[in-house]
């Protein structure tokens, strides 16, 4: 069979281990995920520390692990800018949303909006935002999964996407949020162990002196054709684009539905708060180590390794693992490569499961149950619809990923997801919780302005039209050269919220704003944890 | 015990939100929380966007050496990690020590309800279960 032409057997065994453990968890979780609160929110019985790990597992995608390590390997400092943005974003989440989400919502972002706005339009708007973000993020992760598994294990792109998609659906459909949470927790633990062990191996080579690592990375970065630098400006060449990306990163996380949904899985706001702090520590430590991996790859693999590291340097971390283990062909090298590949695989599975769950909850809870059936459906029916929706969404994502193939640019799709999240979801959520006058028309216009401006600007951006990042005059129009739309589309989202609110005659939301305010601040009247 | 009903929150009229909102405890809670969160949010956005702007527009400065291969840019990046750590712990401490007790007091005194959570409607026995649950979770979060 062509399928298994050059399969790495050790990697296959590690993959098998990851899959059997996660399937075992799904079997255990399946009994606990039959009610709606069990399926969407794990019965709200996840502790703060567990949720902190799960948020880390939900958030640290393959783009974080392999992508950032690769960018730092190839470009140096500019890759690290992503790490900083992804981390500082959690302060936005903690200060502005985490506890208030837990106190005012039930299962989805739309619950918070519809609390004080007219239910149907508010839910439709929130579902549009959620589905757009989840779709782009999900397709990006699926393509990334296919490319990686192909490179690391030797399974072809199409079957690799199908395998990933199938397991993702098994976790979600049979185990709901309970299984998804524990897959994310296990992945976070594996990922942290993996990156710590790799970092220790790297640091051992420089006698545990990080400065020495920087020096040798810089020395290796002086090679012919290298783009590596310890200062900025090698990857993000367009200054405005860098600012735009920085803005989209720091505000986008606070609009990611699969991250916000995690706050509904804890018993109260206190646990929501402590889970963000745990997540910040775990994620911060992880991103700090991305420089050890990236600089280590530069110092150890050198410029000769760039070609082997593939597009964007995505394979730099696995290649480094192979080298640290003893080199290609050695038992140690094979084993270390296989383990890191297995960690990367677990990473992808945990993230896509979270994404599918958030998208299917928007379809089942917001569109089906609240709008089509107007709350007249049974809980059983809603959970069934959520499972069917998950299957549909998963199938579509697999189909587009296979159709688009390896040609789809993964980091561009993730950047787009962050830009839409920051421009559409974040402004509406923040204003619903803090602006007494905010109304339904404002929420709907805000979400539409955010989605349309982010999508439109991406469509005319240079990266879509084939130009290299940062190169001028390669977009659809000479006057527009930004690859990340955040700097324009985020203000557009807020502007839409404002204009929609002041231009519509709708009023009478005052009372429910006061209710929401008390509820968000104190937790009075918020959803209780499932008993038992 | 009982499954929480999937639909229809019990926004019982018995919860007196207005009284809670008007209470001195609630006002103090909002004021104190805002007095920390607002300046902290402005500070972290300025510090972070300052870093981004320097990386975008002051490449020379960011590439300068502090010590051998350690650049100004990397040191400033490390301050971002430190900022996240410090602000995170500061907020956690304030919330546990000051905000939570104020919120509890406001609810106890003015809501007409001793119970913080939405009652699972039609199930009179929900209260006892929730009380023990919430107490257990607090310990879990504390550790």
Chain B residue numbers with beta carbons less than 8 Å from the beta carbon of A229 are 63
Q: CB of A145 within 8 A of CB of A137?
A: no
pLDDT at B133 over 80: no
* Domains of chain A: residue spans and CATH: 2-522 (1.20.1730.10)
Chain B residue numbers with beta carbons less than 8 Å from the beta carbon of A239 are 56-57
Structure token pair of residue A92? 């936005």
pLDDT at A16 over 70: yes
A481 three-class SS? coil
Q: What is the mean pLDDT of residues A283-293?
A: 96
**Which of B50, B88, B136 would you mutate first to test chain A, the one with the most A CBs within 10 A?**
B88
**What is the pLDDT at residue A3?**
47
* pLDDT, tens digit, 9 for 90 and up, residues A458-469: 888 877 776 554
DSSP state of A231: S
Give the phi and the psi of residue A530 in degrees, each rounded to 5: -65, 135
Instruction: Please report the residues numbered 465 through 524 in chain A whose beta carbons come closer than 8 angstroms to any beta carbon of chain B.
Output: 514-515, 517-519, 521-524
Residue A34 confidence class, pLDDT cut points 50, 70, 90: confident
Q: CB of A452 within 8 A of CB of A512?
A: no
* pLDDT, tens digit, 9 for 90 and up, residues A295-312: 999 999 999 998 888 777
C-alpha dist (Å) from residue A531 to A38, A41, A174, B130, B136: 11, 13, 21, 7, 12
* CA–CA separation, A30 and A327 (whole Å): 42
Beta bridge partners of B67: B70
- For residue A521, give the nearest of B57, B83, B103 by CB distance: B103
Residue with tokens 């001028």: A472
**What is the pLDDT at residue B143?**
32
> Cβ contact (<8 Å) for A524 and B87?
no
* CA–CA separation, A492 and A487 (whole Å): 9
* pLDDT, tens digit, 9 for 90 and up, residues B93-130: 999 999 999 998 888 887 776 566 654 443 333 333 33
Alpha-carbon gap: B104 to the closest alpha carbon of chain A (Å): 7
**Which of A44, A88, A246, A510 would you mutate first to test chain B, the one with the most B CBs within 10 A?**
A88
Please report, for chain B, the start and end positions of each structural domain, with discontinuous segments joined by +: 17-115
**What is the pLDDT at residue B2?**
36
Chain A residue numbers with beta carbons less than 8 Å from the beta carbon of B67 are 211
DSSP state of A223: S
Residue A87, chain B, CB below 8 Å: the answer is: yes
Beta bridge partners of B70: B67
* CA–CA separation, A142 and A164 (whole Å): 7
For B93, residues 6+ apart whose C-beta sits below 8 A from its C-beta are: none
* pLDDT, tens digit, 9 for 90 and up, residues A232-270: 988 888 889 899 999 999 999 999 999 999 999 999 999
Q: What is the mean pLDDT of residues A363-383?
A: 89
Considering only A56-65, A90-99, A269-278, A280-289, which range has the smallest mean pLDDT?
A56-65
> Cβ contact (<8 Å) for A522 and B84?
no
Structure token pair of residue A161? 């996407």
Instruction: Please report the residues numbered 411 through 440 in chain A whose beta carbons come closer than 8 angstroms to any beta carbon of chain B.
Output: none
The ipTM (two decimal places) reads 0.92
Chain B residue numbers with beta carbons less than 8 Å from the beta carbon of A99 are 95
pLDDT at B3 over 70: no
**What pTM did the predictor assign?**
0.90
Higher pLDDT, B77 or A315: B77
C-alpha dist (Å) from residue A430 to A426, A433, A490, B123: 6, 5, 13, 34
pLDDT at A220 over 90: yes
Structure token pair of residue A472? 């001028």
DSSP state of A468: P
Tell me which chain A residue has its CA closest to the CA of residue B39.
A95
B93 three-class SS? helix
Chain B residue numbers with beta carbons less than 8 Å from the beta carbon of A528 are 4, 117-120, 126, 130, 133-134
- For residue A280, give the nearest of B30, B77, B84 by CB distance: B84
* pLDDT, tens digit, 9 for 90 and up, residues A381-422: 999 999 999 999 999 999 999 988 777 777 677 878 899 999
């Amino acid at each position: 069979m062509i399928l298994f032409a050059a399969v790495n057997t050790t990697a296959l065994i590690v993959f098998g281990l990851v899959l059997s453990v996660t399937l075992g968890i799904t079997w255990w979780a399946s009994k606990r995920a039959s009610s709606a609160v069990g399926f969407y929110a794990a019965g709200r019985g996840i502790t703060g520390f567990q949720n902190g790990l799960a948020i880390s597992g939900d958030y640290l995608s393959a783009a974080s692990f392999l992508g950032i390590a690769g960018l730092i390997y190839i470009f140096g400092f500019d890759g690290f800018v992503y790490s900083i943005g992804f981390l500082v974003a959690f302060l936005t989440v903690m200060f502005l949303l985490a506890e208030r989400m837990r106190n005012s919502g039930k299962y989805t972002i739309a619950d918070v909006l519809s609390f004080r706005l007219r239910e149907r339009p508010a839910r439709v708007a929130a579902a549009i935002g959620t589905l757009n973000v989840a779709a782009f993020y999900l397709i990006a992760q699926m393509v990334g999964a296919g490319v990686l598994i192909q490179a690391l294990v030797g399974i072809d792109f199409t079957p690799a996407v199908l395998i990933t998609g199938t397991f993702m659906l098994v976790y979600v459909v049979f185990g709901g949020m309970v299984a998804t949470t524990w897959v994310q927790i296990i992945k976070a633990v594996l990922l942290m162990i993996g990156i710590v062990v790799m970092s220790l191996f790297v640091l051992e080579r420089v006698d545990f002196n990080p400065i020495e690592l920087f020096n040798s990375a810089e020395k290796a970065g002086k090679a012919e054709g290298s783009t590596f630098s310890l200062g900025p400006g090698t990857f993000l060449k367009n200054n405005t684009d860098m600012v735009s990306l920085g803005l989209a990163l720091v505000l986008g996380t606070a609009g990611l539905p699969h991250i916000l949904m995690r706050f509904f899985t804890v018993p109260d706001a206190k646990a929501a708060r402590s889970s963000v702090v745990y997540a910040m520590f775990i994620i911060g430590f992880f991103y700090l180590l991305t420089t050890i991996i990236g600089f280590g790859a530069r110092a150890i693999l050198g410029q000769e390794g760039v070609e082997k590291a593939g597009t964007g340097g995505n394979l730099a971390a696995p290649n480094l693992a192979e080298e640290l283990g003893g080199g290609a062909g050695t038992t140690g090298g094979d084993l270390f490569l296989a383990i890191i590949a297995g960690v990367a695989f677990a990473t992808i599975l945990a993230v896509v499961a979270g994404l599918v769950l958030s998208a299917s909850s928007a379809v089942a809870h917001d569109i089906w149950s609240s709008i089509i059936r107007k709350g007249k459906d049974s809980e059983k029916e809603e959970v069934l619809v959520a499972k069917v929706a998950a299957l549909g969404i998963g199938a579509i994502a697999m189909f587009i990923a296979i159709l688009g193939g390896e040609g789809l640019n993964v980091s561009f799709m993730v950047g787009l997801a962050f830009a839409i999240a920051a421009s559409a979801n974040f402004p509406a959520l923040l204003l619903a919780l803090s602006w007494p006058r905010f109304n339904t028309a404002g929420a709907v216009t805000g979400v539409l302005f955010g989605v349309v401006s982010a999508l439109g600007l991406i469509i005319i951006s240079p990266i879509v039209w084939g130009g290299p990042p940062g190169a001028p005059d390669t977009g659809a129009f000479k006057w527009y050269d930004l690859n990340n739309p955040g700097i324009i589309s985020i203000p557009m989202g807020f502007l839409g919220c404002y204009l929609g609110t002041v231009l519509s005659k709708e009023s009478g939301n005052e009372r429910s704003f006061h209710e929401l305010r008390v509820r968000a601040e104190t937790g009075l009247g918020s959803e209780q944890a499932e008993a038992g | 015990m009982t499954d929480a009903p999937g639909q229809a929150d019990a926004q019982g009229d018995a919860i007196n939100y207005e009284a809670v909102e008007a209470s001195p405890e609630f006002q103090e809670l909002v004021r104190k929380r805002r007095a920390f969160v607002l300046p902290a949010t402005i500070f972290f956005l300025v510090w972070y966007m300052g870093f981004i702007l320097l990386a975008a527009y002051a490449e020379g400065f960011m590439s300068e050496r502090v010590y051998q291969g350690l650049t100004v840019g990397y040191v400033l990046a490390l301050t971002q990690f430190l900022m996240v750590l410090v602000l995170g712990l500061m907020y956690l401490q304030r919330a546990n020590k000051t905000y939570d007790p104020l919120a509890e007091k406001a609810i106890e005194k003015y809501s007409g309800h001793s119970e913080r959570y939405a009652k699972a409607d039609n199930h009179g026995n929900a209260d006892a279960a929730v009380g023990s649950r919430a107490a257990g979770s607090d310990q879990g979060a504390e550790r």
